[in-house]
């Protein structure tokens, strides 16, 4: 069965510093997709970044990058130059076959606090 | 113009009541979903519809019944509400043309008293 693990329930980072949020996954599928979503205190779910299992390059979106290590089954999110607005819950998620319209499993989340 | 909108945003109701949450998306997406987020922030898929057809139905009590009158709408009806149904319910939608990710509504916080 597929499973997502986020071992850091809470993280702190100084403003303007970089931070890595850990995500490991377990699947027997060859084709899958990995997502990161952000949930600020206002409650909405915001898509950040996606990595397909066959993508050779690590995904990047602005200040977000996904450190994909397939052999280790890890998909860590790196946020560069943290801002106060980055304080939120961050969820790692995985879908079989790589898209949202397949079943998506979410991890338990990591709460990130950015300190001025 | 909100892409995925849910109503109501907050819902407080007594045990045993029946309630509905409505969801509409104006993105032209084929696939819509309902997710439940519990008090520990754990997010789990409940249902998925593609072109009005149910494609994912997780282990959810049959008191929960999704209804999709058309591609743009996916409503969630809950019968005989229980205390444990208190959670935030998210509607979402997606389409291959707009990318692999789902677009979420703002959530409906359901409190059963």
Mean pLDDT, 10 residues at a time, chain A of 116 residues: 92 98 93 95 96 93 97 97 98 81 87 97
The confidence score (pLDDT) of residue A100 equals 62
* Eight-class DSSP state of B97: G
The confidence score (pLDDT) of residue B80 equals 98
Closest chain A C-alpha to B14 CA, distance in angstroms? 24
pLDDT in tens, B64-111: 999 999 999 999 999 999 999 999 999 999 988 788 889 999 999 999
Higher-pLDDT residue of B4, B95: B4
Cβ pair A35:B31 closer than 8 A: no
Structure token pair of residue A49: 């970044």
* HEC secondary structure over A56-74: CCCCEECCEEEEEECCCCE
H or E stretch at A105:
strand A104-106
The confidence score (pLDDT) of residue A101 equals 63
The confidence score (pLDDT) of residue B67 equals 93
Q: In whole numbers, what is the pLDDT of chain B averaged over residues?
A: 93
Does A32 contact B at CB distance below 8 Å? Answer: no
Q: Cβ contacts (< 8 Å) between B50 and chain A: which residues?
A: 101
The confidence score (pLDDT) of residue B43 equals 95
Nearest CA in chain B to A106: B43
Does B59 contact A at CB distance below 8 Å? Answer: no
Query: What radius of gyration, in Å, describes the C-alpha atoms of chain B?
Result: 13
The confidence score (pLDDT) of residue A96 equals 77
Determine if the peptide bond prior to A60 is cis (ω within 30°): no
Does A91 contact B at CB distance below 8 Å? Answer: yes
Closest chain A C-alpha to B18 CA, distance in angstroms? 25
> Which of A33, A103, A108 is closest, CB to CB, to B56?
A103
d(CA B96, CA B8): 28
Judge whether residue B63 has pLDDT over 80: yes
Beta-bridge partner residues of A68: A75
- A81 Ramachandran zone, left/alpha/beta (phi>0; psi -120 to 50): left
Nearest CA in chain B to A108: B42
Task: Choose the mutation target among B99, B100, B106, B109 for the interface with A, i.e. most A CBs under 10 Å.
Answer: B100
Nearest CA in chain B to A43: B106
Does A36 contact B at CB distance below 8 Å? Answer: no
Q: Per-residue confidence at B59, pLDDT binned at 50, 70, 90?
A: confident
């Amino acid at each position: 069965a597929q499973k997502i693990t986020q071992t850091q329930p809470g993280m702190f980072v100084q403003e303007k510093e970089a931070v890595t949020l850990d995500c490991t996954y377990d699947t027997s599928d060859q084709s899958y997709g990995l997502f990161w979503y952000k949930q600020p205190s206002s409650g909405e779910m915001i898509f950040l970044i996606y990595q397909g299992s066959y993508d050779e390059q690590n995904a990047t979106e602005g200040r977000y990058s996904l450190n994909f290590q397939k052999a280790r089954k890890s998909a860590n999110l790196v946020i560069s130059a943290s801002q106060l607005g980055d304080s939120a819950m961050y969820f790692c998620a995985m879908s079989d076959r790589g898209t949202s319209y397949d079943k998506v499993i979410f991890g338990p989340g990591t709460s990130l606090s950015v300190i001025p | 113009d909100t892409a995925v909108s849910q109503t109501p945003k907050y819902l407080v109701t007594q045990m045993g009541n029946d309630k509905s949450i409505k969801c509409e998306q104006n993105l032209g997406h084929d696939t819509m979903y309902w997710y439940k987020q519990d008090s520990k922030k754990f997010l789990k898929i409940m249902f998925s519809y593609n072109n009005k057809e149910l494609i994912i139905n997780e282990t959810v009590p049959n008191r929960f019944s999704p209804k999709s009158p058309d591609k743009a709408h996916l409503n969630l009806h809950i019968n005989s509400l229980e205390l444990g149904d208190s959670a935030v319910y998210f509607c979402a939608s997606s389409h291959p043309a707009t990318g692999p990710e789902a677009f979420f509504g703002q959530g409906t916080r359901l409190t059963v008293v």
